[in-house]
Chain A
Amino acid sequence: MKALSQRRRHPLAAFALLLMALLVTGGLYAAASTANEAQAQTTTFTADDVEEGSKLFSANCASCHGMGATGSQAAPSLVGVGAASVDFQVGTGRMPMQMDGPQAQAKPVQFTDEQIGQLSAYVASLGAGPAIPSEEILDASEGDASRGGELFRVNCAMCHNAAAAGGALTQGKFAPSIDGTSEKHIYEAMVTGPQNMPVFNDANIAPEDKQDIIAFLKTIEEQGSPGGADLGSLGPVSEGLFIWVAGLGVIIAFTVWLTSRSS
């Protein structure tokens, strides 16, 4: 104790104390909060899956993400991104990436469900991360669509548009349309934040709230457009374009007809 009391006026003592305080509060928060807790695997992966996934990864992904998924100049490390991330990126065809660009774009899926599962198993084995969500939480019929709508408008609509039709971001990036996206992929996108999307972890939006959002999205997807053709759900721009081109076009055709003479 004498050694400690002698060094209490050391120039670095304040820094050491600060560091200790940060470690303690951070550690306590991490222990108390469930936000950063890696979720329990809901789908069980076998050692065989990991083994097969490792081979698939080396053959298809390692050229950018590096052997052992530790990342390279071209692509980030995948240690700790979790099975949900792989399932979303590969399951929507975004990975393997077709070309460099502002963000990876969806395209036809390149792997079978089994292979996607194996890849997910391999990446999940590298470090804890968000897991593939369970069937129960994805059941849209259990969610509250109107509550989900409110959450969607507050958290999602500024990029994805109020009708989930998608919207522009800066520098060629964009928020895609969510129409036709599966419940699982919507959930995985929220927990992993693919491309330019922020992560909405369980502390931001609780799993039940995510279920409500999915319920809202599935409700508006299934109900269709109550007022007729939705013109892309893009708002007043497509409406204005339509009235100028189609509306006024038809009217002009009639004016020409009405003033023509049978000569």
Chain B
Amino acid sequence: MSSSTATPTYVPKTRVGKVTDYVDSRVGGSGIVKEFGRKIFPDHWTFMFGEVALYTFVILLISGTFLTFFYDPSMAETHYEGSYLPLRGVEMSVAYASSLDISFDVRGGLFMRQIHHWAALLFVASVAVHMLRVFFTGAFRRPREFNWVVGCILLILSLAAGFTGYSLPDDLLSGNGLRIIDGVMKAIPVVGTYLSFFLFGGEFPGTMIIGRLYVLHILLIPAVILLLIGIHLFMVVLHKHSQFPGPGRTNTNVVGYPVGPVYAAKAGGFFFIVFGVLAAIAAAFTINPIWNYGPYDPSPVSAGTQPDWYIGWVDGALRLMPGTIGNFDFEFMIPFPWGVNALSLNVLIPALVPAMIVFTLMFAWPWIEAWVTKDKREHHLLNRPRNAPTRTAIGVAGVTFYCVLWAAASSDLIATHFLVSLNDVTYWLRFLVFFGPVLAFMVARRIALALQRKDREIALHGRETGRIVRLPHGEFIEVHEQVDDYKRYQLVAFESPEVMVPTPGADGKVSLLDKAHGRISRFFFEDRVAPVTPKELAASHGDHHDEVAGAKDRESIASH
């Protein structure tokens, strides 16, 4: 309750005042506004991807509602009689015909279809980038572990929302996508065929699947996403926003702008920017031209059949998996009491294993890292990615693994556009899917450590200006310019955990778990660049107060 409404003697004078007071004295909105309006959010461009995800979701809800007015999720057969000539008279499902009608015969329908689809691509992309930001800055650490998990579930739900939506037009492209899902499901031993028959209401493609996916797409999945977004944002408010380290920024405060009024205006404006960018893209660039693909028919598969980008990596894994290696065909016939069941590992491994690895590591990461560092403290100050070299390197390795599989989904287009053999592309990507992440890990860690050393160098000796000065006695030196205190603080204020050596417990023995922990701790923190200590800083300051190189520089120059 604000003080104005709490005071019984308050009498509003203007008409707006009267209306506001009437509402506020009944719902108490001013208290919420006062509390929430004073919420501080730190400013950094990387903090805005979550907002992009939220806004694209709103755009998806709005454009999706428009589409439901005209879309008919029926798989009944019909002959197209709409205005797109090259499909006139073709036999197709009502779902496909209504999607074509939205595209060609509903005013503004094609624009709405395109903005919905582009927004879906941007939605998943912004969720992914937002999660990468959270990972690389260490924002998942205590107390935000649960919010990280909620975010992971939101990612999976956004993939599900995308995939169910992709299938709705019932065109050839989406039908081929469903066929792959059907194939993967049937590869699951024993229950696979039952699952497939349950989902499709009989043998693929059946007459049920579009209606079922439609209900999932417009009802269940968005409702759960909305609920989890609510929980996600509630926890953001509860935990307060994390911030990058800087002078005056501590673990117990948040330095930034209050929500009201500037930040709220900025955020509201940003919604319209995202909307505008998507509208411009939807107006000028075609997406999912369903009229090209034709109605679904189980026999043809056209070249360039790919899923939308976020499912691409699973498609890529399926493409990379060899059907057989020599005479080994990855297929086992397992005798059960009721008969022989096939175990098709050449489908199950690529379809499920990469996703399982990535998602398991993703969900468990906050606890894995907490176990490695044995750090139970709350963290509201973020890491610069370079200041956590091993985590950053593991993240880069994961991104590389993902990107190799992602590239594999477009192996045919890589072949035609770079004039190379499709077979060679596949062989190289098979090699890279195993060795790429290892290589990326080593390179990323080296780069992170090198950047830390550079930071150290700059904190101690200042920035190289490139100005060479000749001293009176003939010596040449390069002038170093000291960075200001604000900048230096950012370079020196970080924690650098050290290797934890396993210590014997009460029984005087080192347990196996402790030994393993010691090894992993060494792996994580053996190569470390210690932050500059105040002592080192003080020592170097003496040299540098004049703008000319100090004793160390003189030494190094003299030695050359």
Residues of A within 8 A of B (CB): 102, 145-150, 153-154, 157-163, 165-172, 174-175, 216, 219-220, 223, 225-231, 233-244, 246-248, 250-252, 254-256, 258-259, 261
Measured in the bound complex, the distance between the Cα atoms of B83 and A223 in whole Å is 13
* Residue B37 lies at the interface, judged by CB distance under 8 Å to chain A: no
Measured in the bound complex, the distance between the Cα atoms of B289 and A223 in whole Å is 13
User: B318 → chain A, closest Cβ, in Å?
Assistant: 15
A216 and B300 contact, CB distance less than 8 A: no
Contact of A220 among B86, B303, B415 (CB under 8 A): B86
A236 and B312 contact, CB distance less than 8 A: yes
A239 and B288 contact, CB distance less than 8 A: yes
- Give chain A residues whose Cβ lies under 8 Å from the Cβ of B49: 255
- Give chain A residues whose Cβ lies under 8 Å from the Cβ of B122: 243, 247-248, 251
* Residue B250 lies at the interface, judged by CB distance under 8 Å to chain A: no
Q: Residue of A at shortest CB range from B269?
A: A258
Best-buried of B110, B305, B411 by chain A (most CB within 10 Å): B305
Known A243-B309, A259-B43; judge A167-B300 contact (CB<8 A). no
User: A71 → chain B, closest Cβ, in Å?
Assistant: 26
Interface of chain A, helix or strand or loop or mixed?
Answer: helix
Contact of B289 among A163, A169, A219, A258 (CB under 8 A): A163
Interface string of B79-91 (1 = CB under 8 A from A): 0000011111110
Contact of A234 among B43, B121, B304 (CB under 8 A): B304
Contact of B110 among A102, A223, A227, A250 (CB under 8 A): A227
- Give chain B residues whose Cβ lies under 8 Å from the Cβ of A237: 304, 306, 309, 312, 409-410, 413
B125 and A165 contact, CB distance less than 8 A: no
Known A162-B172, A168-B303, A235-B173; judge A228-B284 contact (CB<8 A). yes
A171 and B281 contact, CB distance less than 8 A: no
What are 30 A-B interface contacts by the 8 Å CB criterion?
A146-B86, A153-B294, A153-B302, A154-B297, A157-B302, A158-B300, A158-B301, A159-B303, A162-B304, A163-B289, A168-B303, A168-B413, A168-B422, A170-B421, A171-B423, A172-B421, A220-B292, A227-B103, A227-B286, A227-B287, A234-B413, A235-B304, A236-B306, A236-B309, A241-B309, A243-B281, A247-B278, A248-B125, A255-B46, A258-B45
5 nearest A-B pairs in the assembled complex, by CB-CB distance: A167-B303, A240-B309, A227-B286, A157-B302, A168-B412
- Give chain B residues whose Cβ lies under 8 Å from the Cβ of A242: 281, 285
Contact of B277 among A163, A233, A254 (CB under 8 A): A254
- Give chain A residues whose Cβ lies under 8 Å from the Cβ of B274: 251
- Give chain A residues whose Cβ lies under 8 Å from the Cβ of B409: 237
* Residue B293 lies at the interface, judged by CB distance under 8 Å to chain A: yes
- B window 163-182: CB within 8 A of A: 172-173
Contact of B270 among A148, A165, A238, A254 (CB under 8 A): A254
Q: Residue of B at shortest CB range from A164?
A: B292
Contact of B85 among A145, A234, A239 (CB under 8 A): A145
User: A186 → chain B, closest Cβ, in Å?
Assistant: 16
* Residue B23 lies at the interface, judged by CB distance under 8 Å to chain A: no
Measured in the bound complex, the distance between the Cα atoms of B415 and A241 in whole Å is 16
Could you tell me how many residues of chain B have their Cβ less than 8 Å away from some Cβ of chain A? 71
- Give chain B residues whose Cβ lies under 8 Å from the Cβ of A102: 421
Measured in the bound complex, the distance between the Cα atoms of B190 and A164 in whole Å is 41
* Residue B229 lies at the interface, judged by CB distance under 8 Å to chain A: no
Measured in the bound complex, the distance between the Cα atoms of B173 and A241 in whole Å is 18
Q: Residue of B at shortest CB range from A242?
A: B285
B110 and A244 contact, CB distance less than 8 A: no
User: A243 → chain B, closest Cβ, in Å?
Assistant: 4
Contact of A162 among B43, B52, B299, B302 (CB under 8 A): B302
Measured in the bound complex, the distance between the Cα atoms of B299 and A241 in whole Å is 29
A146 and B303 contact, CB distance less than 8 A: no
Measured in the bound complex, the distance between the Cα atoms of B305 and A135 in whole Å is 35
* Residue B420 lies at the interface, judged by CB distance under 8 Å to chain A: yes
B121 and A240 contact, CB distance less than 8 A: yes
Known A226-B291, A244-B309; judge A172-B422 contact (CB<8 A). yes
A227 and B289 contact, CB distance less than 8 A: yes
Q: Residue of A at shortest CB range from B55?
A: A251
Contact of B45 among A174, A250, A259 (CB under 8 A): A259
B303 and A154 contact, CB distance less than 8 A: no
Q: Residue of B at shortest CB range from A174?
A: B416
Q: Residue of A at shortest CB range from B113?
A: A227
B284 and A171 contact, CB distance less than 8 A: no
Measured in the bound complex, the distance between the Cα atoms of B43 and A104 in whole Å is 58
- B window 76-104: CB within 8 A of A: 84-90, 103-104
A259 and B419 contact, CB distance less than 8 A: no
* Residue B126 lies at the interface, judged by CB distance under 8 Å to chain A: yes
- Give chain A residues whose Cβ lies under 8 Å from the Cβ of B364: none
Contact of A240 among B129, B266, B302, B308 (CB under 8 A): B308
8 additional contacts (CB under 8 A) given A226-B84, A229-B285, A235-B306: A170-B423, A227-B103, A228-B285, A236-B309, A237-B304, A251-B126, A251-B273, A256-B45
- Give chain A residues whose Cβ lies under 8 Å from the Cβ of B301: 158
A226 and B90 contact, CB distance less than 8 A: no
Known A220-B86, A258-B266; judge A248-B299 contact (CB<8 A). no
Measured in the bound complex, the distance between the Cα atoms of B86 and A236 in whole Å is 22
* Residue B441 lies at the interface, judged by CB distance under 8 Å to chain A: no
* Residue B307 lies at the interface, judged by CB distance under 8 Å to chain A: yes
Measured in the bound complex, the distance between the Cα atoms of B303 and A223 in whole Å is 21
Known A162-B294, A229-B286, A258-B48; judge A154-B308 contact (CB<8 A). no
Contact of B292 among A146, A162, A244 (CB under 8 A): A162
User: A156 → chain B, closest Cβ, in Å?
Assistant: 9
User: B407 → chain A, closest Cβ, in Å?
Assistant: 10
Interface string of B40-52 (1 = CB under 8 A from A): 0001111111001
Measured in the bound complex, the distance between the Cα atoms of B308 and A238 in whole Å is 10
Known A146-B88, A167-B416, A258-B48; judge A175-B286 contact (CB<8 A). no
- Give chain A residues whose Cβ lies under 8 Å from the Cβ of B303: 157-162, 166-168, 175
* Residue B114 lies at the interface, judged by CB distance under 8 Å to chain A: yes
Measured in the bound complex, the distance between the Cα atoms of B110 and A228 in whole Å is 10
Measured in the bound complex, the distance between the Cα atoms of B291 and A154 in whole Å is 15
Measured in the bound complex, the distance between the Cα atoms of B420 and A150 in whole Å is 31
A247 and B286 contact, CB distance less than 8 A: no
- B window 347-369: CB within 8 A of A: none
Known A149-B90, A153-B294, A255-B48; judge A167-B304 contact (CB<8 A). yes
- Give chain B residues whose Cβ lies under 8 Å from the Cβ of A154: 297, 299-300
- B window 241-271: CB within 8 A of A: 266, 269-270
Contact of B300 among A157, A175, A234, A235 (CB under 8 A): A157
Known A162-B172, A167-B303; judge A243-B420 contact (CB<8 A). no
- Give chain B residues whose Cβ lies under 8 Å from the Cβ of A255: 45-46, 48-49, 52, 270
Q: Residue of A at shortest CB range from B406?
A: A240
- Give chain B residues whose Cβ lies under 8 Å from the Cβ of A146: 85-90
Known A149-B87, A150-B90, A153-B300; judge A225-B121 contact (CB<8 A). no
Contact of B285 among A147, A159, A170, A231 (CB under 8 A): A231
Measured in the bound complex, the distance between the Cα atoms of B88 and A159 in whole Å is 24
- Give chain B residues whose Cβ lies under 8 Å from the Cβ of A256: 45
